[in-house]
Amino acid sequence: MKVKVYRRVVSYRISLLLIVVLTTLIAGNFSIANAQSRPEVRLVLQITIDGLRADLINRYENGFGKDGFRLLKEKGTYYTNAHYQYANTETIVGHTTLATGTFPSQHGMIGNVWFDREAGELAYNIEDPNSPIIPTRENVSKGEQVDPAQKKSRTQGRSPAVILAPTFGDGLAAYYGGRSKIFGVSGKDRSAVSMAGHVGKAFWYSTNSGDFVSSTYYYDAYPDWVTKWNARRQAEGYAGKSWSLLNDTSAYLLAAQDDRPYEVDLKGYGRVFPHPFGQANDKLFYTRILVSPVGDQLALDFSKSLITHEQLGQDKIPDYLSISFSGVDAVNHFFGPSSLENEDVVVQLDRILADLFAFIDKTIGLKHTLIVLSADHGMADLPEYMTELGYKAGRLDPDEIVAAANKSGQKFGVDEIVRFFYRPYLYLNDKKIAAAKIDRVKVEHAIADALTDFDGIALAVPTSRLSSQQANPLVAQVRRNHHVSRSGDIYIIQKPYWFLFDKGPVAAMHGSPWRYDTHVPIIFMGSGIQPKTVHRLVHPVDVAPTITALLGMTPPGSAQGLPLEEVLR
């Protein structure tokens, strides 16, 4: 016991602290936690709110109760100025960065979707044909897919096989000899799988059935409690019902921002409250559930069942549960982050968090639970909304971007030099460039320069310019996003509030390197952490190394972030 305790210290404390520890040992107190009298951590609860731009928990504060976000902000160490440092602020990228403490250049998740050069087609981040989803019931009819990334998926299999860096959960399993229980739950597959890591187990909401599903990567068959939970068919219970405001309309800051012409109606879901879910046999029914507070409610209920049946946090070996709530992001995509819908989904999430904390306190004890809350990215306001306010913004047609790039290629005698474009990356046709025997670097630069002149594009960055010393911070963000085999040849950055796509199945988007997309909250609470609000600049890569430091563990293998000192004090 002595040896183990001693190792925990040296892994993250500098020699000065060693003196304190030795003094403590001499005094006959062998507990390392005594430096701060920290209660032991029995559960690490990592909460990720998909698309929760950092300012939203200030804007809606009047609608919050005492025991949700307010509890975190007042009792936890609250970082108000946390920013992602890479360019492509998307869901899988943010979650994997939180889980691994490193950048997409290392963990390989460069976007929700990238072009697989070998296969010659798009790849969806966590798809894995070798790990099919385990059916939960017979004859599930396929729902209509509206998630633009999921739509690109070629197979129904899911696993973390393509995540190239170890996660916090992977390290926790190693440290405790496989005795920690490690789980990831989410409304979205990619948010559950990335956080569960390579050795944990993941469950996510299915927009086909309303069930929480998993794949053969994790299980041969569902545990009994999962089968029983799904048999209750809670999502189906919302058939014929609607999403209504929690409070009276007058209580909302954005009461006047319900009916806006640029919001997207999910085929009958409407632009104004109440939003009817439709009947259970409607192909969009289970998706609409996710585009409301109900999906988060179901994730909460499923997580409670998991905590109970898997007996999380019941002994001295810390367990890990990641819950990623998807409702805020889904609502943002269809209605925008400055909609009444956004305000209500965040206010209702506040109640869901309060419920979760009360449950954790009852079953494990909040003082034995290390709670870490953050988000995977922020969200941009709609170009149409910004234009209405007087800021000029717009949407770029991807076909026009490709046409402009091809036109530059023709100057080098190559027709249709673009092999593929999927935002933000442009992939060039290697074979044609080789056959034409032209200088690849010159072509890349010519195309990038032509695109940078394009209205709505801030900067196009060719791979060959990533290594050059440039003062432009955008280039550094693109470099951290660059994976040598997955990234494209030219990274296209839109101007602020511009979108790299026409109005399609969704209205609003994230994914830019601008501050509204990089800004997320980071809050640590419980386990002796001091109430404090910190305004210095910190980064989501610091989250995993901070958790490991609190537990006395080595950071995840590829981690580049640093422990946040205010949490450790």
Minimal distance, residue 379 CB to Zn ion, in Å: 9
Minimal distance, residue 356 CB to Zn ion, in Å: 20
Identify which of residues 73 and 510 has a Cβ nearer to Zn ion in the complex: 510
Minimal distance, residue 51 CB to Zn ion, in Å: 5
Contact status: 376 vs Zn ion (CB under 5 A): yes
- The helix, strand and coil proportions of the chain, stated in percent and rounded to the nearest 5, come to 40, 15, 45
Contact status: 91 vs Zn ion (CB under 5 A): yes
Minimal distance, residue 328 CB to Zn ion, in Å: 9
* Single residue of 128, 189, 329, 489 touching Zn ion by CB under 5 A: 329
Identify which of residues 77 and 91 has a Cβ nearer to Zn ion in the complex: 91
How does DSSP classify residue 423? T
Which part of the chain contacts Zn ion (CB under 5 A), choosing from 85-93, 242-250, 287-295, 313-321? 85-93
Q: What are phi and psi of 494, to 5 degrees?
A: -75, 160
Q: Residue written as tokens 């690109």?
A: 152
Which part of the chain contacts Zn ion (CB under 5 A), choosing from 47-55, 159-167, 275-283, 544-552? 47-55
| CA 400 – CA 404 distance, rounded (Å) | 6
Identify which of residues 330 and 448 has a Cβ nearer to Zn ion in the complex: 330
Cis peptide before 383 (omega within 30 of 0): no
Minimal distance, residue 349 CB to Zn ion, in Å: 14
Contact status: 189 vs Zn ion (CB under 5 A): no
Minimal distance, residue 112 CB to Zn ion, in Å: 8
How does DSSP classify residue 215? B
Minimal distance, residue 152 CB to Zn ion, in Å: 16
Identify which of residues 329 and 566 has a Cβ nearer to Zn ion in the complex: 329
Q: Residue written as tokens 């023709």?
A: 410
Identify which of residues 181 and 539 has a Cβ nearer to Zn ion in the complex: 539
Which part of the chain contacts Zn ion (CB under 5 A), choosing from 91-99, 138-146, 286-294, 484-492? 91-99
Which part of the chain contacts Zn ion (CB under 5 A), choosing from 162-170, 192-200, 327-335, 339-347? 327-335
User: Residues near 564 by Cβ (< 8 Å), separated by ≥ 6?
Assistant: 77, 79, 522, 524, 534, 538, 542, 546
| CA 188 – CA 91 distance, rounded (Å) | 9
Beta-carbon neighbour count of residue 550 at 10 Å?
25
Minimal distance, residue 481 CB to Zn ion, in Å: 16
Which part of the chain contacts Zn ion (CB under 5 A), choosing from 44-52, 280-288, 297-305, 364-372? 44-52
Q: Residue written as tokens 């809050």?
A: 523
Q: Which residues of 42-52 are buried (b: 16+ CB within 10 A; e: fewer)?
A: bbbbbbbbbbb
Identify which of residues 8 and 53 has a Cβ nearer to Zn ion in the complex: 53
Residues in the chain: 569
CA angle 125, 112, 201 (to 5 degrees): 50
- Is 478:464 a contact under the CB 8 Å cutoff? no
Which part of the chain contacts Zn ion (CB under 5 A), choosing from 147-155, 276-284, 368-376, 534-542? 368-376
Identify which of residues 329 and 350 has a Cβ nearer to Zn ion in the complex: 329
Query: Which helix (H) or strand (E) element contains residue 392?
Result: none
- Is 286:294 a contact under the CB 8 Å cutoff? no
Contact status: 296 vs Zn ion (CB under 5 A): no
Contact status: 147 vs Zn ion (CB under 5 A): no
* Single residue of 50, 170, 296, 566 touching Zn ion by CB under 5 A: 50
Minimal distance, residue 91 CB to Zn ion, in Å: 3
- Is 323:45 a contact under the CB 8 Å cutoff? yes
Structure tokens at 12: 């993250």
Which part of the chain contacts Zn ion (CB under 5 A), choosing from 75-83, 87-95, 348-356, 422-430? 87-95
Identify which of residues 52 and 266 has a Cβ nearer to Zn ion in the complex: 52
Q: Which residue sits closest to Zn ion, CB atoms considered?
A: 91
42, 48, 303 from 306: Cα distances, Å:
15, 17, 5
Identify which of residues 97 and 429 has a Cβ nearer to Zn ion in the complex: 97
52, 110, 330, 511 from 506: Cα distances, Å:
17, 21, 9, 14
Identify which of residues 64 and 84 has a Cβ nearer to Zn ion in the complex: 84
Structure tokens at 354: 């309060």
Q: Residue written as tokens 């989501």?
A: 540
Show the site string, 449-468: x = touches Zn ion by CB under 5 A, - = not: --------------------
Identify which of residues 147 and 329 has a Cβ nearer to Zn ion in the complex: 329
CA 549, 349, 83, 99 torsion: positive or negative?
A: positive
Minimal distance, residue 50 CB to Zn ion, in Å: 4
Beta-carbon neighbour count of residue 449 at 10 Å?
12
Minimal distance, residue 12 CB to Zn ion, in Å: 30
CA angle 493, 494, 497 (to 5 degrees): 135
How many residues bind Zn ion, per CB under 5 A?
4
Q: Which residues bind Zn ion (CB under 5 A)?
A: 50, 91, 329, 376
